[in-house]
Structure 1
Amino acid sequence: MPVRARNFHLHLVSDSTGETVTSVARACLVQFEGVFATEHVWSLIRTPAQIDKVADAIEVNRGPVLYTLVDHELRDRLREHCRRLGLPCVGILDQVMSTLGVHFHSKTAMWPGRQHALDDEYFGRIDAMHYTLAHDDGQSTHDLDDADVILVGPSRTSKTPTCVYLANRGIKAANVPLVPKVPPPEELDAVQRPLIVGLVTDPERLVQIRRNRLHLLQQETETDYTDLEHVQEEMQNARRLYARNRWPSIDVTRRSIEETAAAILQMLDRRREAAGSVRMETA
């Protein structure tokens, strides 16, 4: 029996950018079949007057409230508004912060948006993003050895979005496309430092993705680029290349960008742990 779709309002209140509360809310919502939420994101809420304006909007479009607010006065004010309206109001980090505080025998700094501070880590992410954008789709191959990760794969195997996601995590990621009948750049064979990962996917799915792409560009969709036999051959050649060079590979057919990036980050961690063990043994 099909699940009847239900629509409701969801208010996400944050004293920072709202990324955390939005991510948690969406991770939870996907577990509820047939439930669709109209998100109202209230970011950079840092004064009682702003909380009161949010409360007025919540009263107009009533729905659950999730928040990430470090100021106790603001949290109490928001909870009181929700109590009056009879709406659930949940601080998604409260239990975590309380548990960690007890374990660390410490109090929180009460600094809104502290995770977005302009520190070395932040500027490292900016540097990684600049590198990634400059080394997209086989550009600037002269300094590939400066990368942390190099993704290799046929066209439309999610190389670029995966690299951008990794760059946002502070990873310098370059990508090199595999073009039929064109050998990979010589610079790729010369790299020593980066982790090289090959991407593969199901040929039939890849054909559909490429056709959709060409259709959006208003280009001819029936070419070797979208011919199933040619695409199957592309994928076989890619797998042979990875095996010949002993590069690890990831099948992205049923993976999201986030899942592919997570697998790559795990590979990096294992690589660093192995390098650390070798250094300890030779010390």
Structure 2
Amino acid sequence: MSDTVKGRSFFHLHLVSDSTGETLIAVSHAVTAQYQGITSIEHMYPLVRTRAQLDKAISEIETSPGIVLFTLVDQELTQVLDEACHALGMPCLSVLQPIMSLFQSYLGTASTPRPGAQHILNADYFRRIDALNFTLMHDDGMLPENYEDADVVLLGVSRSSKTPTSIYLANRGIKTANIPLVPNMPLPRSVTKLKAPLVVGLFASPERIVQIRENRLLSLNATPDSAYVDRLAVADEVAQSRKLFAQNGWPMIDVTRRSIEETAAAIIDLYKVHRQKRAAEAAS
């Protein structure tokens, strides 16, 4: 049951994991986002792999009653946590168990319990690390001579979410370079001749760009640049960027009301089509 303090409702949310807890955090955030006006107070217990570690978590759960979500593959620890929550009268749910049961019924075989197995150092892991290194080295227009080695190249005016989107894509194993579009500064010629990477243009409404730029200047205690935050000047920047995207046949995405995750998902879809097209061209 949630409590109210100064007009705000909150509840305690206990996340118990035998790994980093990233799965629990992602799932719980996706659900709590659907409840407006209610805030979760998260209690995170990562790398719980012994009875002593679990007992410590249970003690804290008893002190701050709430919802308990867990990802434990050790059946003994799972049973201890289930019984403790039942005795305390608290709701307790294994986030992975329903999915694992579905997989088992379809595949006809049981899983092999491996705590933290999703974080194993395999080829996919190192591919993501390589993508992240590439993306950090090619942020904000750096090293243009390497753009042909990118999977995706993002273009957009200042404050159009290029860098955070690039980092998100890198975490998905996609090597991404991003290039700022600056008034009166031409693009490197190599950009319009790129063959291997998918080039995507990002833009937002002038009002949104101005708002973000003003907040950026305030955070830096910087003197406002009239052209940088002028509504008409920014509108012209955005219009010119969209004209450039259209002239080169580059797909463009309006990020005004999109989260970074939504923008990245749209780019990943475009990238899949781009790869299929290149594979077909190479085979013909």
- Give the whole-Å Cα distance in 2 for the aligned partners of 1:142 and 1:20: 38
**Which residue is 1:64 aligned to?**
67
Counterparts of 1:238-257 in structure 2 under 5 Å?
238-257=241-260
**Structure 1 outlier segments of 4+, above 6 Å:** none
Query: What is the letter of the counterpart of residue 45 of structure 2?
Result: W
Query: What is the letter of the counterpart of residue 197 of structure 1?
Result: V
Q: Check if 1:112 corresponds to 2:112.
A: no
- Give the whole-Å Cα distance in 2 for the aligned partners of 1:276 and 1:191: 16
- Give the whole-Å Cα distance in 1 for the aligned partners of 2:146 and 2:71: 42
Q: Secondary structure at the match of 1:110?
A: coil
**Which residue is 1:206 aligned to?**
209
**Which residue is 2:186 aligned to?**
183
**Which residue is 2:82 aligned to?**
79
Q: CA deviation at 1:50?
A: 1.1
For structure 1, which segment, 138-147 or 220-229, has the greater mean C-alpha deviation from structure 2 after superposition? 220-229
Q: CA deviation at 1:22?
A: 0.9
Tell me how many residue pairs correspond in the alignment.
279
Identity %: 48
**Structure 1 counterpart of 2:126, from 123, 126, 147:** 123
Query: What is the letter of the counterpart of residue 172 of structure 2?
Result: R
* Gap regions ≥5 residues in structure 2: none
Q: Check if 1:164 corresponds to 2:167.
A: yes
**Which residue is 1:135 aligned to?**
138
Q: CA deviation at 1:275?
A: 3.5
Q: CA deviation at 1:225?
A: 0.7
Q: Check if 1:23 corresponds to 2:26.
A: yes
Q: Check if 1:221 corresponds to 2:224.
A: yes
Q: CA deviation at 1:273?
A: 2.9
Summarize deviations over 1:54-82 as a string: whole Å, max 9, x none.
Answer: 11110001111000111111111100110
Q: CA deviation at 1:222?
A: 4.4
TM-score with structure 2 length normalisation?
0.95
**Structure 1 counterpart of 2:57, from 39, 54, 58:** 54
Q: Secondary structure at the match of 1:64?
A: strand
**Which residue is 2:195 aligned to?**
192
Q: CA deviation at 1:5?
A: 3.3
> CA RMSD for the aligned pairs?
1.3
**Which residue is 1:97 aligned to?**
100
**Structure 2 counterpart of 1:5, from 4, 8, 14:** 8
TM-score with structure 1 length normalisation?
0.96
**Which residue is 1:34 aligned to?**
37
- Give the whole-Å Cα distance in 2 for the aligned partners of 1:110 and 1:22: 21
Q: CA deviation at 1:93?
A: 1.1
- Give the whole-Å Cα distance in 2 for the aligned partners of 1:279 and 1:245: 22
Q: CA deviation at 1:104?
A: 0.5
